Structure 1
Amino acid sequence: MIENQIFVANHNWILYIAAFACAFGISILATPFSKKVSLKLGAIDYPKKRGLHTEPIPRMGGIAIVLGFMLTMLILMPFLAEIRTRQFTGFLIGGIIIVALGMLDDIYNLNAKLKLAIQFIAALVVVLTGTTINTLMWPFATYLESLSAPITIIWIIGVTNAVNFIDGVDGLAAGVTSICATCLMVLCLLTGTELAVVLTATLAGSCLGFLPRNFNPAEVFMGDTGATFLGYVLSVSSILGVFKSYAVLSVLLAVLCIALPILDTLFAMLRRAINHKPIMSADRGHLHHRLIDKGYSQKQAVGILYGISAVSGLFAILIALRNIYAIAVAAVFFIVLTLMLFVYKKRTGHNN
Structure 2
Amino acid sequence: MKILAVFAIALFVVRLISPIVKQLGLKFGFVDQPDARKLHNQPMVRMGGVGIGVGAGIAGVIGIWWQADTITLHHSWLTIMAMFVAGMGFFAIGLADDRWSLSPKLRLGLQAVVTCLAWALGLQMHNLPIPGVGTVALGYWSLPVTFLWLAGVTNALNWLDGLDGLAAGVTGIAALTFAAIGWQQQDVVSILLSLSLAGASFGFLRYNAFPAQMYMGDGGSYFIGGMLAGLGILCTGNSDSFSLTALPYVVLALPILDMVLVIGSRVFGGKSPFFPDQRHIHHRLLRLHLTKQASVVFIYILALWAAVTANWLLYTPWAWSNVVLLALLLTFVNRAGLQTASTQLGPVGPAMPAEA
**TM-score normalised to the size of structure 2?**
0.84
Report how far residue 28 of structure 1 moved.
Answer: 1.2
Report how far residue 90 of structure 1 moved.
Answer: 2.3
Identity of aligned residues (%): 30
**Most deviating of 236-245 and 82-91:** 82-91
Map 1:141-152 → 2, pairs under 5 A: 144-152=138-146
User: Contact conserved, 1:196 with 1:238, CA < 8 A, in 2?
Assistant: no
Q: 1:113 aligns with which of 105, 110, 114?
A: 105
User: Contact conserved, 1:99 with 1:226, CA < 8 A, in 2?
Assistant: yes
Report how far residue 244 of structure 1 moved.
Answer: 3.0
Counterpart for residue 242 of structure 1 = 236
Match of 2:47, SS state, is coil
Letter in 1 for 2:91: V
Q: Is 1:67 matched up with 2:59?
A: no
Counterpart for residue 18 of structure 1 = 5
Counterpart for residue 34 of structure 1 = 21
Q: 1:129 aligns with which of 105, 121, 134?
A: 121
Q: 2:78 aligns with which of 55, 78, 86?
A: 86
Q: 1:172 aligns with which of 166, 175, 190?
A: 166
Q: Unpaired runs of 5+ in structure 2?
A: 331-354
Q: Distance between the aligned counterparts of 1:86 and 1:64, measured in 2?
A: 25
**Most deviating of 92-101 and 80-89:** 80-89
**Most deviating of 45-54 and 296-305:** 45-54
Report how far residue 109 of structure 1 moved.
Answer: 1.0
Q: Distance between the aligned counterparts of 1:144 and 1:190, measured in 2?
A: 26
Q: 2:183 aligns with which of 166, 171, 189?
A: 189
User: Contact conserved, 1:178 with 1:203, CA < 8 A, in 2?
Assistant: yes
Counterpart for residue 285 of structure 2 = 291
User: Contact conserved, 1:60 with 1:223, CA < 8 A, in 2?
Assistant: yes
Counterpart for residue 53 of structure 1 = 40
Letter in 2 for 1:17: L
Q: Is 1:95 matched up with 2:87?
A: yes
Letter in 2 for 1:320: L
Q: 1:251 to 1:275 in 2, by over 3 A?
A: farther
Q: 1:229 to 1:136 in 2, by over 3 A?
A: closer
Q: Provide Cα deviations, 1:304-346, integer angstroms capped at 9, x if missing partner.
A: 000001001101111112285xx59989x99xx99xxxxxxxx
Report how far residue 73 of structure 1 moved.
Answer: 2.1
C-alpha root-mean-square deviation of aligned residues, in Å?
2.8
Report how far residue 250 of structure 1 moved.
Answer: 3.1
**Most deviating of 284-293 and 271-280:** 271-280
Q: Distance between the aligned counterparts of 1:279 and 1:120, measured in 2?
A: 18
Q: 2:313 aligns with which of 301, 316, 319?
A: 319
Counterpart for residue 341 of structure 1 = none
**TM-score normalised to the size of structure 1?**
0.85
Q: Distance between the aligned counterparts of 1:182 and 1:111, measured in 2?
A: 33
Counterpart for residue 262 of structure 1 = 256
Letter in 1 for 2:280: H
Letter in 2 for 1:95: G
Q: Distance between the aligned counterparts of 2:240 and 2:287, measured in 1?
A: 40
**Most deviating of 304-313 and 184-193:** 184-193
User: Contact conserved, 1:134 with 1:243, CA < 8 A, in 2?
Assistant: no
Q: Unpaired runs of 5+ in structure 1?
A: 1-13, 339-350
Letter in 2 for 1:19: V
User: Contact conserved, 1:95 with 1:122, CA < 8 A, in 2?
Assistant: no
Q: Distance between the aligned counterparts of 2:287 and 2:300, measured in 1?
A: 18
Report how far residue 208 of structure 1 moved.
Answer: 0.2
Aligned length: 324
**Most deviating of 135-144 and 78-87:** 135-144
Q: Distance between the aligned counterparts of 1:107 and 1:142, measured in 2?
A: 41
User: Contact conserved, 2:86 with 2:230, CA < 8 A, in 1?
Assistant: no
Match of 2:127, SS state, is coil
Q: Distance between the aligned counterparts of 2:243 and 2:140, measured in 1?
A: 20
Q: 1:285 to 1:32 in 2, by over 3 A?
A: same
